[in-house]
Structure 1
Amino acid sequence: MTEGLGELRAELDGIDEALFALVRDRMRCIERVGAIKAQVGMPVFQPGRAAEVERQAAARAREHGLDEGFLVRLADMLMEEAIRIEEAVVAQAGASKDEPANSPPT
């Protein structure tokens, strides 16, 4: 019986590895989103987009027989981290604009 548990835990470890790699890829994409928002002067937080992501999470939960509240909370956590990353990218872009060309880094 415990042999089956070990196999299942190994399977879970593999799924976690794939999941975390996807989260990493998502955050790298978020960095590119932040760079574009910085270029065009768009605010980081977009309430309409946040609501859409939550709606999509709830729909996917229903589609796959998962708990809606859980997937919406997960989407909210991902968006919270996305906002943190985008704000850092925008702040860095703003700092870069304030530095004179060819100035040494500080």
Structure 2
Amino acid sequence: MITSGAAAGEAEAATVLGPLRDRLDELDRRLLALVVERMDLCLDIARLKAEHGIPMMQPSRVGLVVGRARAHAAAHGLPEEYLGDLYERIVAETCAQEDVLIAELDGAGER
């Protein structure tokens, strides 16, 4: 069977890159699981904030977390924005989910 040049190139890429892609896929699975675990932990923190009347938004903590991500990027030769922007997005979504949870808890407490 004769294969086209593109198909042969894809087959060679799969053979040559396969082991590294497998490792990358495993890292992605672990990274995604950690992001979910982080969100779960943040929601536990939100429950405690609600119980103790602590404001959801803690700007100094947000600054610390994002700053740490930027510093980590710089220390590893990456642009600070790479991890800084990623963490700003993670924190923004976490805050949104915390707001929803706290509103639900507040509503349940009024019943």
Structure 1 length normalisation: TM-score? 0.86
Partner of 2:47: 35
How far did residue 14 of structure 1 move?
0.5
Q: Distance in 2 between matches of 1:42 and 1:86?
A: 12
Alignment gaps of 5+ in structure 1: 100-106
Ranges of 4+ aligned residues in structure 1 off by more than 3 Å: none
SS state of the match for residue 30, structure 2?
A: helix
How far did residue 10 of structure 1 move?
1.4
Q: Does 1:22 align with 2:34?
A: yes
SS state of the match for residue 56, structure 2?
A: coil
Partner of 1:55: 67
Q: Larger Rg: 1 or 2?
A: 2
How far did residue 63 of structure 1 move?
2.0
User: Number of matched residues?
Assistant: 99
How far did residue 74 of structure 1 move?
0.6
Q: Does 1:94 align with 2:106?
A: yes
Q: Does 1:8 align with 2:17?
A: no
* Fraction of identical pairs, as percent: 33
Structure 2 length normalisation: TM-score? 0.82
Q: Distance in 2 between matches of 1:4 and 1:45?
A: 48
Alignment gaps of 5+ in structure 2: 1-11
Q: Distance in 1 between matches of 2:30 and 2:58?
A: 28
Alignment-mate amino acid for residue 10 of structure 1: D
Alignment-mate amino acid for residue 36 of structure 1: L
Q: CA RMSD in A?
A: 1.2
